[in-house]
Amino acid sequence: MLLLGCDLPGRHTEQHDVFFGVARKVSDLVPDLKAFWPEAGEKLHVDGWREVSHVNNYRITVVPRTETVDNPEQLYFLNLGGYKPGEMEEFHYKLLSVNKDIGAAIRDAKETTFYKHTAFATATSHVDDKYGVDVDDIIPVKDILPAHVRAQYQLKLTPVEDTVTDELYLGYFQLHKL
């Protein structure tokens, strides 16, 4: 999971997006990153990344498409949006959630500190109007992997006892230095 950034021509602030891919090392993803956001050109960079191996109490592994996998749950990516009084900004919180359905993922999102602290009467934290919560985005991760990855691999979610926190790598990472 990578947070991408770039300064697009004609924009006044840096733009961001999230990319999911599969690789042995981050630098192996560079061709996919460039294909994902071609208009970014040479300005494309990574602002942060995480090797997703644990979410909630599940181990996330990438397995061949040919392997039989029985996941009653799915790994969801949520992009929560919220506001603070007096600040001209929509703040975002990117969240991964393992749940049986979108409704359960949204219920969990409503319990986050971000959701509870970035809302007031005229500007509630949100998912997306169609879900009644207003989460900017909620997407099964398997659906947003590059097509060539989906053709070869799938995600396996295995319940585990121990809670493990994936390491976050934050900073300004130029693609040629990954």
Q: Where are the domains of the chain?
A: 2-174
Closest to 132 measured CA to CA, from 94, 102, 160, 162: 102
pLDDT at 135: 56
Q: Which two tokens stand for residue 151?
A: 């053709």
Q: Which residues pair with 51 in a beta bridge?
A: none
Residue numbers in the chain where pLDDT is lower than 50: 128-133
Task: Say what the pTM is.
Answer: 0.88
pLDDT at 176: 94
Instruction: Read off φ and ψ for residue 108, nearest 5 degrees.
Output: -65, -40
Contact predicate 73/96, CB 8 Å: no
Alpha carbon of residue 41 to chain centroid: 22
Contact predicate 160/146, CB 8 Å: no
What is the separation, in whole angstroms, between the first and last Cα of the chain? 14
pLDDT at 125: 64
CB atoms closer than 10 angstroms to residue 65: 11
What is the residue whose two structure tokens read 């961001």? Answer: 16
Contact predicate 74/140, CB 8 Å: yes
pLDDT at 132: 39
Alpha carbon of residue 65 to chain centroid: 22
pLDDT at 1: 98
**Segment 50-102, tens digit of pLDDT:** 999 999 999 999 999 999 999 999 999 998 888 888 889 888 889 999 999 99
Q: Which two tokens stand for residue 176?
A: 């040629």
Pairing label, strands 15-19, 2-6: antiparallel
What does the DSSP assignment read for 34-93? Answer: HHHSGGGGGG-EEEEEE---EETTEEEEEEETTS----SSEEEEEEEEE--TT----EEE
